A = this chain, B = another copy of it.
Amino acid sequence: MLTIRRVEERDRETILQISSAVGVFTQEEVNTVDELLQAHLYDPEQHDYHFFAACDDSDRVLGFVCFGPTALTEGTFDLYWIAVDKSTQGGGVGRALMESTEDYLRDAGGRLVVVETSGTPAYAPTRRFYERLGYEGHLSAPDYYRPGDDLIVYTKHLH
């Protein structure tokens, strides 16, 4: 059984380990995950970044998601990060995290989910993952991350 719960301080090391081990995030990106995670953990005033974890029966963290409201929009939320432990990929943990996020956002009045990702071959499994979940991809900025590495924006309307 999977449980989805808010990320707590004791999960920090695991979250960073999972982020590093997935193999597609640069060190700068892992540092950004940590920065947002610290805002989530230690700044009770902020509502920009929320972290949830998927855990097994022993409360071992198998994956996490980070999302928050998109500035200057009405009812749009950014899904900033999602990562699943390499050993459990393909087992439905990512899908459970996404569906749980969508339920949470629907309850919070969310209307649209936006995910930015890369157009490189390394991210092909990530793009297929979003497409299977009903996200629509838009080529939004060629050469965005670096030459040859395009920005693809995925969107999904919540009903």
A4 at the binding interface (Cβ < 8 Å): no
- CB-defined A-B contacts under 8 Å, sample of 24: A28-B72, A32-B71, A32-B72, A72-B145, A73-B144, A73-B146, A74-B145, A75-B146, A76-B141, A76-B144, A76-B145, A111-B143, A111-B147, A114-B144, A138-B138, A138-B139, A138-B140, A138-B141, A140-B140, A140-B153, A141-B155, A143-B155, A143-B157, A153-B153
User: Complex formed: what's the CA distance from A147 to B112 in Å?
Assistant: 9
Q: Tell me which residues across on chain B come within 8 A of A32, comparing CB atoms.
A: 71-72
- A70-B144, A143-B157 are known contacts; what are 13 more A-B pairs with Cβ within 8 Å? A73-B145, A74-B145, A76-B144, A76-B145, A111-B147, A114-B144, A138-B139, A138-B140, A138-B141, A140-B140, A140-B141, A144-B155, A151-B153
